[in-house]
Amino acid sequence: MSFGYRDAGVRIGADTSKLKYTETSTQANGFASYATNTWQITGEYDLNSKISLAAQYASNGAGNCALNGTISCSTVGLGGTLVGFGANYKLDKNFAIFALAAKGSANSGAVISLGSGAGKTAIGGTINAAAVGIQAKF
């Protein structure tokens, strides 16, 4: 489910979803399913016609899981949060420069992965990221 609001230089968005993963394997004590709830809220504000600021907060809970057979499954410590901030300076109608900073924190039993060999945290770790760049619209 999503929500959005826009008015004179202010933009607010929020999303929530229930993620569910299942596997068809019948292997004894193998993975059967995992479900978790996630949500995020984002806000943007135009300081003036050239400068915009943005912030985001996202979270997902530990969720719950099931294994095939009678063995119990625990999600204690899974989940995490993300907080991010950004700024955008318009040079003209087609080009802008931007800066972003974010911190992702995994709960005590989770890791944060950047995907495809880009790296991941230790269990319960944190990733701090920053970027600057040029935005071009065509």
For residue 92, pLDDT over 90 is answered with yes
Q: Provide mean pLDDT across the span 90-104.
A: 96
At residue 116, does pLDDT exceed 70?
no
Q: How does pLDDT run across 24-82, given as a tens digit for each residue?
A: 888 888 899 999 999 999 999 999 999 999 999 999 999 999 999 888 999 999 999 99
- Which of 1.20.120.160, 2.30.110.10, 2.40.160.10, 3.40.30.10 is the CATH number of 2-136? 2.40.160.10
- pLDDT for the residue 93: 93
Four-point Cα dihedral 105, 110, 114, 115, nearest 10: -170
Which residue ranges make up each domain of the chain?
Answer: 2-136
How many C-beta atoms lie closer than 10 Å to residue 79's C-beta?
20
pLDDT of residue 111: 83
